Structure 1
Amino acid sequence: MKLGEIYLRIWGCLAAAASESDHAFNAMQASTIGLDGAPNLRTVALRRVSEPENLISFHTDLRSPKVAELDREPRIALAGVDSDRKLQIRVFGEARIIRDGPVRVDAWKASRDHDLIQYRTLLAPGTPIAQPRDAFGKKSDIPGPDEGLAHFCVVEVRAVSIDWLDLSEADNPKRARFIRSGDEWTRKWIAP
């Protein structure tokens, strides 16, 4: 496989993952620099991917620690593994938080109700509670379907480099790196 084919395959995998919740790369690990300076890692679900725009996006709660971390330091790393195909994709980029406007509202409206439940909680993510239901308060306190929009945001990641690792052939592992400069990508093989 040539580097150009790998580049297209990476973006194809990511685009498929954004539209198929059971795709291996749908749930990716997102790493940020914590407010205490230590790395912080969590899982995010890809929601939109566009190679022409160099865009990978996910949704999160504005009250989440990752928002404060990205406000302070917008660098982010995403990593995903397809253990069946023995592939790994790592994306390093700059994040931008969309707090208002049509991109955010359209993303909210396009989301399944099941995916929006966590934005309707009364408490910020990570707040200690005695029981899971306590996040919503009393039954009369549960916000309506659109009330969670106040806590919802879109995180757009613009890739600055992508690392691809293929371990599908035990005796022939392959690794490639793609680095963006302006609107162009530099492509090169690197040692696995």
Structure 2
Amino acid sequence: MDLADIDASAWAELETAAAAPQSGFRHVNLCSVDAEARPQARMVVLRAAGRATRCLEFHTDTRSRKWLELSANPHVAVLGFCPQARLQLRLQGTVERHGPGSERAETAWASLPGRTRMTYAGGPPGDERAFEAMDELPEPHDEAEGKARFGVLSFRARTLDWFELRQQDNRRALFRYDETGAFSHGRWVYP
């Protein structure tokens, strides 16, 4: 496989993961930096991926710390590992936030199932919560509350660090993309 094929294959894996809940790349780490310059990593669900633009999409509660962190510093890393493919993808780039009421958030919200929408209707992420008794259902929330707190994170990759674990001779390649997402450079590096 040449570098162009590897790059295309990596993005095909991400596109598949966005549509397949069982994919190894469906849940990835989104790593930002907080106000004290400390790295912050958390698992997020990959909702969309675009090979042509080198973009990934994630959903979040706009009351979350990551939403605030990304308003101050949009530079992030995304890290995923698929055990079946024995493949690690590490991407670096920037995030653009799309808040409640934006066209991007409205479109994404409309495609969410009701159970997912209710995720955004509870208390703010990180706030203390008393768990209900196992036999009791929590009080229902108004779905409109969730919509008012729903945001979309659009990530555009500038680099991809591709790493394949093998029985022998692990392989690693680095890729760069321009501001439009076009492939600009790739090279093999030692693992």
Tell me the TM-score normalized by structure 2: 0.91
Q: How far is 1:12 from its partner?
A: 0.2
| Residue in structure 2 matching 1:143, options 126, 135, 141 | 141
| Amino acid in structure 2 at the alignment position of 1:106 | T
Q: How far is 1:144 from its partner?
A: 2.1
Tell me the SS of whatever aligns to 2:63: coil
- Structure 1 residue ranges without an equivalent (≥5): none
Q: How far is 1:132 from its partner?
A: 5.6
Cα distance, 1:29–1:143 mapped onto 2, change above 3 Å: same
Cα distance, 1:132–1:39 mapped onto 2, change above 3 Å: farther
1:156 corresponds to which residue? 154
Matched-pair contact (CA < 8 Å) for 2:90–2:162: yes
The CA distance in 2 between the partners of 1:117 and 1:190, in whole Å, is 45
2:167 corresponds to which residue? 170
Tell me the SS of whatever aligns to 2:130: coil
Tell me the SS of whatever aligns to 2:141: coil
The CA distance in 2 between the partners of 1:5 and 1:71, in whole Å, is 35
Cα distance, 1:54–1:125 mapped onto 2, change above 3 Å: same
Matched-pair contact (CA < 8 Å) for 2:78–2:91: yes
Q: How far is 1:116 from its partner?
A: 1.9
RMSD: 1.5
Q: How far is 1:171 from its partner?
A: 1.3
| Amino acid in structure 2 at the alignment position of 1:23 | S
2:177 corresponds to which residue? 180
> Which deviates the most, 154-163 or 84-93?
84-93
Matched-pair contact (CA < 8 Å) for 2:59–2:153: yes
The CA distance in 1 between the partners of 2:29 and 2:46, in whole Å, is 10
Matched-pair contact (CA < 8 Å) for 2:178–2:184: yes
The CA distance in 2 between the partners of 1:120 and 1:181, in whole Å, is 38
- Structure 2 residue ranges without an equivalent (≥5): none
Q: How far is 1:165 from its partner?
A: 0.3
Tell me the SS of whatever aligns to 1:146: helix
Q: How far is 1:87 from its partner?
A: 0.5
| Amino acid in structure 2 at the alignment position of 1:186 | H
The CA distance in 2 between the partners of 1:191 and 1:117, in whole Å, is 46
Tell me the TM-score normalized by structure 1: 0.90
Query: C-alpha offsets along residues 55-101 of structure 1, whole Å, 9 cap, x if unaligned?
Result: 11100000000001000000011111111221100111100100132
Q: How far is 1:115 from its partner?
A: 1.9
2:47 corresponds to which residue? 47
Q: How far is 1:7 from its partner?
A: 0.5
Query: How many matched pairs?
Result: 184
Divergent runs of 4+, >4 A = none
The CA distance in 1 between the partners of 2:45 and 2:60, in whole Å, is 9
Query: C-alpha offsets along residues 83-137 of structure 1, whole Å, 9 cap, x if unaligned?
Result: 122110011110010013221111001012222222011x21000122268xxxx
Query: C-alpha offsets along residues 141-168 of structure 1, whole Å, 9 cap, x if unaligned?
Result: x43223310010000001010010011x
1:78 is aligned to 2:78:
yes
> Which deviates the most, 86-95 or 100-109?
100-109
1:191 corresponds to which residue? 190
The CA distance in 2 between the partners of 1:64 and 1:8, in whole Å, is 33
Tell me the SS of whatever aligns to 2:143: coil
